[in-house]
Amino acid sequence: MGAIDADAHVIETVQTWSYFDDDERRFAPQLMTQNFGAELLSNEGTSVRDFWVIEGRAFGKDRNVGTDTAKESREMLSVEARLAHMNALGIETQVLYPTLFLRPVVQEAERERALCKSYNRWMADLWRQGHGRLRWVAKPPLRLLEKKPGAVRDELEWAKQHGACGIFMRGLECERALGSAYFFPLWRISGDLDMPVCVHSANGSFVHHDFFAEDTSFTKFKLAVVGAFHTLLEKEIPKKFPDVRWGFVEVSAQWVPYVLNDLADRFRRNGKSFPADALAANHMWVACENTDDLPYVLSHTGEDCLMIGTDYGHHDPSSELNAIHLLRQDQRISAAAIKKILEINPRNFYGLD
């Protein structure tokens, strides 16, 4: 077995939106270039000029891009270039997450279905070219979940047959917390298809995202996922859906002891017991970061529930292109724990062969 990068990204291009049926082409995002006016700066401090426009909203195409990766690789213009870079980074397999969908982008259900369908088929093409080394999480059309759950199931079943190894979720979705009964049909689909729920640092609520428009990404994205973890356990959702695996990605793992302690206290006050091995007992995994106090975190999570990712293609506080090499050299934890974090745990979570 080799190292699995549990969190890598693709940067969407016009090719991403080339899989629409003829009657869906009206839903394609517009790509526009800014020629004047106040500049939007990327996370690296460069000017962002290209924007996706969807339902009248503009989203900077290259706002969160790491130039320590080549454009041909991060935009998947050359799958072979991506695989070669993975070799240099000591990565056997990458699990790919989107970039555009890390924020709320669409409210119309049929438009969402068309965008998800085209994105998922782009990813399936990349998987076919990747010789089994590029796996991906599928974007479900969540606004159809209440009225057309069969359409959501069909899309995810197709995705699994074409290389998807998880279901992409954000900390908040459709103006709801993940503990809402609205998502129960999705959790049943997840269990039936053996596709884990992958809650990535992201926000799918227009109201919450826009309320914190002037705030840092920490509140909008990171805390939304921490809150989802807390909500799912407090409402005992994993017990209701015991066949589902849950992952929490790109929010580090330093917060896990705090949240587990808070939950244990709440359960105690309600006269209920809370398991000492809460993550394992609830089929939960968390992606850690090299900067985490791993001995402390492991003392609360155990060795079987942590993974690690590079955040490949991005430039933000969670990005560490050399995360795999750094963890292999980490003297704070045992070699056995390192092997689990790099190889065994992500393989078990994503259900990789």
> pLDDT for 263-296, tens place per residue?
999 999 999 999 999 999 999 999 999 999 999 9
Over the stretch 311-348, which tens digit does the pLDDT of each residue have? 999 998 889 999 999 999 999 999 999 999 999 999 99
On whether the CB atoms of residues 245 and 285 are closer than 8 A, the answer is yes
pLDDT tops 80 at residue 41: yes
Number of domains composing the chain: 1
User: What residue numbers bound the domain in which 16 lies?
Assistant: 4-350
pLDDT tops 70 at residue 299: yes
The Cα–Cα gap between 226 and 289 comes to 15
Q: Which of 233, 230, 227 is nearest to 212 (CA)?
A: 227
In this prediction, residues 42-47 reach a mean pLDDT of 88
pLDDT tops 80 at residue 214: no
* pLDDT the model gives residue 238: 98
Over the stretch 133-165, which tens digit does the pLDDT of each residue have? 999 999 999 999 999 999 999 999 999 999 999
The Cα–Cα gap between 177 and 208 comes to 11
In this prediction, residues 155-179 reach a mean pLDDT of 98
* pLDDT the model gives residue 123: 98
Cα angle 102, 165, 126 (rounded to 5 degrees) comes to 75
* pLDDT the model gives residue 353: 82
For residue 27, what are its two tokens? 């839903």
* pLDDT the model gives residue 213: 81
Q: What's the start-to-end Cα distance of the chain, in Å?
A: 10
pLDDT tops 80 at residue 215: no
pLDDT tops 80 at residue 1: no
* pLDDT the model gives residue 302: 97
For the full predicted model, state whether its pTM sits above 0.95.
yes
On whether the CB atoms of residues 311 and 319 are closer than 8 A, the answer is yes
* CATH number of the CATH domain containing 202: 3.20.20.140
Q: With bands split at pLDDT 50, 70 and 90, how would you rate the model's confidence at 97? A: very high
* pLDDT the model gives residue 217: 84
